Structure formats: C-alpha cells, structure tokens
Structure 1
Amino acid sequence: MSRKAYSFVRTFRAEPARDLCVDRHYLLCASVGALRLEAQDRVWLLPPARAALIEAGQRIRVSIPQPVTTASVLFDTAFTAPPPAPLTVFDLSPLARALVAECGEWGESDEPLPTYAETLFAALAAVTWRLAEQPSPVVVPVGRSPQLRRVLRLTEQRLGEEVRFEDLAYEVGLAPRSLARRFADETGMTWRAALRRMRVLRAIEELSTGDAPVTRIAFLVGYRSLSAFNAAFRELTGRTPTEYQASFRP
C-alpha cells in the first residue's frame, strides 16, 4: 500500500510541454527555476514562490522553459478533503514553503509514513488548501480559436519589440475590430491587458532563474521605462520586482 502522501523532488532539464494527469491531489511547485502550467485555456508560471493545487484526475499541461528542480507533494484522496477548486495557482507563504521543504524527506514508498511525517503532510495540506482560496491574478489566456492562439503566440515571441495590435490582426487575416471582439469574447480581456500579463509572466521567469538586474529584465520584456515596468508588475502581483524576487529565496 503506497503512502498517504509523499514528496516528489527531482531536477529536470528544459523540456517541451507534455500532458499530465494523476490520481492524487497534486501540489505542484519548484524549489529552483520555474514550471509553466497550461490548463482551462490559461497559462501560469510557477517560480519558487508560487504553487498550483490540482485536484486528482484533472488534466494539465506542463512545460519546463529552463532547468528546474521540483518540490511537489501528492496527497491520497482519502488523506485530505478535495481542494477548494479543481485547479488553483497561488503564492506560497513562508510557512508553506518551509513545510514543503520539510516534507521533502519522504518520497514515494510502500512504507507507511511515521507519525511525525504524517502530521507534517496534514499541516501542509491545511495551509495550502487555505492559501488556494486566494488565487493569483498573474495568468494569461490561451484562446480557443486558431487565430487568437496564433496572435497570442506571436505576441509572446515579440515581447521585447514594439508590438502593434493592427499588425498582428492583419497577419492572422482579421480586421483589428474583429480581433478585438474575439479577444473580449474568448478571454474576457483586451489584447493590451494580455500583453501586460505576458510581459510580467516573462519577467517572473527571468527573476526566478538568475540574478539579472531588474532594469535589464524590464527592457528584455518590452518596457522602456523602469517606472512603468514596476507599476505594471506591482499592479498584478502586489509587489515590486525586487520584492517578488526576494520571495523566491527561503
């Protein structure tokens, strides 16, 4: 009989997207680097300060843009209550990160958990289930139609450039007004709002994988003003880029 809960700590090289579905509730997070998660027509990035809580049986798509070390936990469905939602991405508190690290000693095994370990996993579930009630707003839509998916891909490829909405519309064979309506219908936001989220998401990826100066990252993701970058970053995350990067460290 496998354990009621166990930790999954492993280092991966960069990998393309692959589908994943497990029969346990899954706390997916990284201790070094960042994971990219796609589900429910949305995309999230999971640096060390964030996690995804995924209900058993939910299908997700995970990619690894750069080398990453996972520090995830899987819970038997009989060990915990179902998560608050089928899939939630949220910021990890210092307590949650400490519990994830402490649970890292107990991997998958047929041996039962000692009482101390079972108490730790139960505490981690209680803390993260509570955190999952406040999902993170840093999410990017994927889009349903081929045209919108292509526009989003082109936008992501050109984040460091001067991207023009009108040029993208004509590239996919739509009038700007038609593309704007499609954005509203399929994503519930404007292209400009999606662009801002993509830039912040890419900045989080850069912040999580190195020590590049914030100014350099701002220019890399398309901002020509550090103050504008800081304002956009704070609006979505509630913190400055420097504060957010500091949260990655234990």
Structure 2
Amino acid sequence: MTHEAYAFARDFAAAPAAELRVDRHYLLCASQGALRLEAHGSSWVLPPARAALIAADEPILVAIPQSVKTSSVLFDVGFVPPPPAPLTVFDLSPLGRALVSECVDWPDADEPLSSYARIMFGALAAVAWRLAQDPSPVTVPAGRSPELRRALAVTNDRLAEDVRFEEIARDVGLAPRSLARRFESECGMTWTAVLRRMRVVRAIERLAAGEDSVATIAHSIGYTSLSAFNAGFRDLTGHTPTQYRATFRP
C-alpha cells in the first residue's frame, strides 16, 4: 500500500556531498546543525528553523559539514500538488514547526493515515507550500564549467584568509579578466559578491554548530572588523548574527 504521507526523525554524522533523489515530494528540516543542498547551479545552507522542499524525482546534492538532527516528511505525489520549484529553502514558521513535530511523532507511521493524521499532514503541506513561495536569499552559485567550480571550491577553502581574486585565477589557470567574465555569465554576480555570500553561509554553519562567539566566527571566516561582518550578514539575511542564531531555538 502506498501511504499518502509519512515522517521520521534521524541523526546524521558529517559526510561529503552525495546525491539524494526520492519518488515523493520531500520536506527536509534541520533541528540541530546544518546541511548544504545543491541543485540547478545554486547551493543553499539549511540550518535549524529552516526547511527545504524538494520535488519528487528531483536529484539534489546533500553535504553534511557537521553532525545534524533532521526531520523528514514525505508526501505521495497524489496527495499534494507539485511544489512551486524543484528545490526551495525557506524559513519555517512556528506553526510549520509544530506541524512537523506532530507528524514526526505520529505513532502509526507504518499504518495508513487516520483521519486526524491525514488532516495534520495536509495542514503541514498547505503551510509548507505557502512558505516555499518566499525562498531564502542565502544562496551561493555552484557554477557550471569545471574552471568556475574549481574557482568556487578554492575560494571556499580560503575564506579565513586574505584571499585575492588574482590568486584564485592563477590557481585555476585563467586570466583574471577571463575568470571575471565566467563569474558574470555563470553566476550573475562578481567574485567579490560570491565571496561575501560564502562567508555568510560559513558563518551560519558555525552559528548552528555551537556557542562560539560572533567575534570568533567573524575572525574564522576572514573578517577583521566585527561591524563589517554584522553589516554583511544583515545585508543578506535581514538579521544580525546574534538575532539569526536566536531563531534556531523553538
């Protein structure tokens, strides 16, 4: 029998990127730690209090940079409409969190849904599908060409350093002008803008990983000025790092 929906909670250890593809629409939530998701040339970070809505049969790459606790809700394609996009990451409202908790705690996961459970899963889908129409701005381009993907990887490895664009270009074997054109054509933004986003993503992962101070995190990702870090973080997320960390808690 094909169940209309089911849910489970699970812990995962840190792991490199691997493809995830399921035959149901998939709502993935982190309750502790953070994941990275990649699809269609973009990468997202998924910290606590956020959710990813993944369309059925959509291949995505999932990396686990640190141990995580997750809740997963899977919907049969005949039970709910298609998601608004193949992959969307968004803020999960208090109502959405409560519904996820209720669905994950449903005691008869291996049995057909009762009337009550069907209502709960249906309500969660309605809330998640609506929230998915306001996606997170915290994305980083993943690149298409091998040279640009290499440039992005090298940049990501050097976030704590005073990294220079000319050095990145040399490492990937391109002239700075040629690499700059790659960033504009494949990413739609400059290397400097991508670097800022990468640093915010790394900061979010560090904020989700533990209780390191904001100043410690800022220094670990290459900022020498706490005010510059706070401003850059707020520009992308709409919150200061301290405010953003506070949203992780129920």
Alignment TM-score, normalising by the size of structure 2: 0.97
Change (3 A) 1:109 1:101: closer
Question: 2:160 is paired with a residue of what secondary structure?
Answer: coil
Where 2:120 maps in the other structure, the secondary structure is helix
Whether the 8 Å contact between 1:3 and 1:108 is mirrored in structure 2 is no
How far apart are 1:8 and its partner, in Å?
Answer: 2.3
Of 111-120 and 75-84, more deviation after overlay is shown by 111-120
Q: Alignment partner of 2:151: what SS?
A: helix
Give the drift of 1:243: 1.0
Contact 1:30 1:47 in 2 (8 A): yes
Q: Which residue of 2 aligns with 1:189?
A: 189
CA positional deviation for 1:167: 1.0
What corresponds to 1:166 in structure 2?
166
Query: How many Å separate the matches in 2 of 1:108 and 1:135?
Result: 32
Matches within 5 A, 1:94-109: 94-106=94-106, 109=109
Specify the code of the residue in structure 2 equivalent to 1:74.
Answer: L
Task: Quote how far apart the aligned CAs of 1:221 are.
Answer: 1.0
The offset of 1:226, in angstroms, is 0.9
Within 1, Cα distance between the matches of 2:61 and 2:171? 27
Number of residue pairs the alignment of both structures matches: 250
- Following superposition, the deviation at residue 94 of structure 1 comes to 1.5
List, as ranges, runs of 4+ consecutive aligned residues in structure 1 with deviation greater than 6 Å.
none
Q: Which residue of 1 aligns with 2:88?
A: 88
Residue aligning to 1:27: 27
Q: Helix, strand or coil for the counterpart of 1:222? A: coil
The aligned residue for residue 151 of structure 2 is 151
Closer, same or farther: CA 189–107 of 1 in aligned 2, 3 Å: farther
8 Å CA contact 2:37, 2:61 repeated in 1: yes
Aligned to 1:66: 66
The one-character-per-residue Cα deviations of 1:164-208 (angstroms, maximum 9, x if unpaired) are: 001111111111111101100111110001000000000000011
Note closer, same or farther for the CA distance 1:113–1:239 as it changes in structure 2 (3 Å cut).
same
Change (3 A) 1:94 1:84: same
| RMSD after superposition | 1.3
C-alpha separation between the residues in 2 aligned to 1:105 and 1:29? Answer: 14
1:135 maps to 135
Residues 110-159 of structure 1 show CA distances to partners (whole Å, capped at 9, x for unaligned) of: 41112222111111111110011111111111111111111111111110
- 1:98 partner letter: A
Residue 18 of structure 2 is matched in structure 1 by 18
Other structure's SS at 2:184 match: helix
Distance 1:102 1:110, change over 3 A: closer
Rounded Cα–Cα distance in structure 2 between residues aligned with 1:187 and 1:208: 27
Aligned equivalents of 1:108, 1:160: Cα separation in 2? 48
Aligned to 2:56: 56
User: Where does residue 201 of structure 2 map in the other structure?
Assistant: 201
Query: How far off is 1:2 after superposition?
Result: 3.5
Q: Distance in 2 between matches of 1:176 and 1:108?
A: 59
Q: TM-score, normalised by structure 1?
A: 0.97
Distance, in Å, in 2 between the alignment partners of 1:22 and 1:113 is 20
SS at match of 2:122: helix
Q: Deviations over 1:34-91 (max 9, x none)?
A: 1111111111111112111111111111111111111111111111111111211111
Distance in 2 between residues matched to 1:153 and 1:181, nearest whole Å: 17
Report the more deviating stretch, 110-119 or 55-64.
Answer: 110-119
Q: Which runs of 5+ in 1 are unaligned?
A: none
| Structure 2 unaligned residues grouped into runs of 5+ | none
* 1:233 corresponds to: 233
Q: Deviations over 1:94-119 (max 9, x none)?
A: 21112111211137844111222211
